[in-house]
Amino acid sequence: MQVSARLGDRKRKSLQQKFADLNWFIILVIIAVAGLGFAMLYSVAGGSIEPWAKNQFIRFLIGLGIMVTMAMVDIRVWMFLAYPFYAIALSMLAIVDIMGEMGKGSQRWLDLGFMNLQPSELMKIALVMALARYFHCLSDEETLKFKALVKPIILIILPVILVLRQPDLGTTILIVMGGIALLFAAGVRMWIFIASFIAIIPAAFSAWQFLKPYQKQRVLTFLDPEKDPLGAGYHIIQSKIALGSGGIYGKGFIQGTQSQLNFLPEKHTDFIFTVISEELGLIGGLTLLSLYMILLGYAVIVSMSVKSQFGRLLILGMVVTFFLYMFINIAMVMGLVPVVGVPLPLVSYGGSAMFTLLVGFGFILSAAIHRETLIPRGGAFA
């Protein structure tokens, strides 16, 4: 154990070395995706950097700085901070919940004075960190034991309850699926997943009872949007019209009739993929999808060269979270899944999701830089 700790010390790099060792390919792809986002925000504003593109650009620069800084921080520090982060995120969720009880209706963010923070976004990262740390500290034999699942499931369930109470269906799905994916990557036995999948059907029925009417409505509308074309189904119908009418080559930049004439709702946030597809066509949509897949695929390949289980799981957890954002959003605007408020990663207008994702990539980059660092099972600084 001491040997390995010393081994890690020997391999510690200087800041300059770390900077040079940053995965510049990943950063370039991130910039490319965000760049497409700025262009689309410029377009949906009718060809203006106000009110969205400029703000988004500034946030992105800040987020990029945070990401690079985080990448430099030793992976063991992150591992050390995993549980405290989780505790902070959970208490913030609780505070939001209590404030919601006292205030008027549901509230999802905390006003920190300089920014509005969504604790649920924080939780997505904190959960991945906490689970990665937990499984890092287990031996193989322990991982395979059934009782090893108790703690992770509690780690997942606690935030899920609080987020569902907000209620935020999109984030709930992201947290649950991100958590499950992490359990899967950590090596939990396959049959447990299969059994759970079978068990989930009655669970879904009981969950249905907890949904607010507007959420039930969203699910029902998804099943048959044409039923209520002016009300609940309007978003999906208009989005499909915009997408379909874009064709292969699109209607041209700032030429999308559905988006420019406001037939498309939420065009700068949740439905921005629709704008890309309408104005830049199938080509534009496939380009973005390819960038995402390159980004994630590359991160997965990098994760395989990481020596610590914490680092590997951290990368994969972030990759899965990012993928879920992307998949749910794109599937939603194309009418494949219900309309749940999930933004298109790095492209949709909005600060919280942008910071969450860049922080996530900060971890990925940190894990990549410190891939040779070995961390003892007992903990980072044990």
Q: Which residues are at the interface with another protein (CB under 8 A)?
A: 139-140, 143, 181, 184-187, 238, 240-248, 257-258, 261-263, 277, 281-282, 285-286, 289, 293, 296-297, 300, 303-304, 307, 309, 312-313, 316, 320, 323, 327, 330-331, 334, 336, 374
**Closest CB to another protein among 160 and 180?**
180
Q: Which residue has the tokens 């942008």?
A: 354
**Closest CB to another protein among 79 and 186?**
186
Q: How far is the CB of 115 from another protein (least distance, A)?
A: 31
**Closest CB to another protein among 90 and 243?**
243
Q: CA 195, CA 306: separation in Å to the nearest integer?
A: 31
Q: How far is the CB of 323 from another protein (least distance, A)?
A: 5
**Closest CB to another protein among 55 and 257?**
257
Q: How far is the CB of 157 from another protein (least distance, A)?
A: 22
Q: How far is the CB of 260 from another protein (least distance, A)?
A: 8
Q: CA 113, CA 122: separation in Å to the nearest integer?
A: 17
Q: How far is the CB of 267 from another protein (least distance, A)?
A: 11
Contacts of 75 (CB under 8 A, 6+ apart): 308, 310, 311, 314, 366, 367, 369, 370, 373, 375
**Closest CB to another protein among 28 and 286?**
286
**Closest CB to another protein among 89 and 278?**
278
Write down how long the chain is. 382
Q: How far is the CB of 191 from another protein (least distance, A)?
A: 14
Contacts of 276 (CB under 8 A, 6+ apart): 36, 40, 284, 285, 288, 347
List phi, psi (to 5°) of 286. -70, -35
**Closest CB to another protein among 309 and 352?**
309
Structure tokens that stand for 119 in this block: 């604790």
Residue 73 buriedness (CB in 10 A; 0-12 / 13-18 / 19+): middle
Query: Which amino acid is it at 285?
Result: G
Contacts of 194 (CB under 8 A, 6+ apart): none
**Closest CB to another protein among 67 and 276?**
276
Query: Which amino acid is it at 153?
Result: I
Give the residue from 267, 321, 330, 300 showing the smallest Cα distance to 123: 321
Q: How far is the CB of 301 from another protein (least distance, A)?
A: 9
Structure tokens that stand for 22 in this block: 């940053």
Q: How far is the CB of 150 from another protein (least distance, A)?
A: 20
Give Cα separations from 271 to 43, 200, 331, 333, 341 (angstroms).
Answer: 13, 30, 11, 6, 10
